[in-house]
Amino acid sequence: AGELFRVTTLDLDNMDSIAKAKDDDGKELHNADYKEDFFGKPAFLTVSGQLGAETHACALGDVYTFGPTFRAENSQTTRHLAEFNMVEPEMAFADLQSAMSNAEQMLKFVVQHVLTNCQEDLQFFAKFYDKQLQERLEKLVEQPFARVAYRDAIAYLQEEIAKDPSKWQFPDVEFGTDLATEHERWLAETKFNSAVFVYNYPKSIKAFYMRDNDEDGGETVNAMDLLVPGVGELV
């Protein structure tokens, strides 16, 4: 953490193709015209918020940040954005199990708050969107979340897909596969019928800053995703 990266969609391998910026008199300048770039201006990515929180956690214990975040991995789903706002906790002297417990407690607290204070909204959703929503939310609060290692999740998926590969949009699943929404929802809705943490993902499909697991020589990293019924990945 603490690195600074310049991000651009301009073709840096073909500098002649990049339009040059112009001054107020229309004279061409040496630098690129970033109005044609993804962010419309020079953009840099940094994890300075996380870096500051890590320092504060050493003194204060449990802290969190909330602010603009830029995604470091190439996630090709409809629920992952290049830029978004995120709550990011930092906990001193915590391991992956502690992080999962914290995520479970946070989600249950939020859902319970909704169940207690937002009944009018829930009734609206039940009428026009999902009649089972209230029941599903109550179950999420009451039932412990399942936890499964990525390797085991892949084995479960391979066993299920082998029964009838034609039912799956992405039937080719092996160690190193980045789980698609249909895989995530099957694990949460069918295999475990509850919210489920999948942890210890392959290093090759996670962001560069994830901590290597010593027990397998760094083939997997100390990371987890929380999958919930009806959605897939949530945390």
Residues 163-170 have a mean pLDDT of 95
Query: What's the mean pLDDT when you consider all of the chain?
Result: 88
What pTM did the predictor assign? 0.74
Compute CA 56 distance to the chain's CA centroid, rounded to the nearest angstrom: 24
* Range ranked top by mean pLDDT from 39-48, 52-61, 62-71, 161-170: 161-170
Q: What's the CA gap between 49 and 45, in Å, rounded?
A: 11
Residue 1 pLDDT exceeds 50: no
Q: Name the residue with higher pLDDT: 13 or 190.
A: 190
Q: Distance between CA 112 and CA 137 in Å, rounded?
A: 8
Q: Residue 13 — pLDDT band, cuts 50, 70, 90?
A: confident
- Report whether 99 contacts 69 (CB < 8 A): no
Q: Determine the Cα–Cα distance for residues 71 and 40; give it in Å rounded to an integer.
A: 18
How many CB atoms within 10 Å of residue 50?
16
The pLDDT tens digits of the residues spanning 191-230 come to: 999 999 999 999 998 887 789 999 988 899 999 999 999 8
Amino acid at 186: W
The one-letter amino acid code at 220 reads: T
- How far is residue 115's CA from residue 29's CA, in Å, rounded to a whole number? 59
Cα separation of 202 and 179, whole Å?
Answer: 11
Tell the residue number behind the tokens 């992956």, with chain if given. 96
pLDDT in tens, 78-122: 667 777 888 888 888 889 999 999 999 999 999 999 999 999 999
Cα separations (Å) of 33 from 24, 44, 197? 13, 16, 45
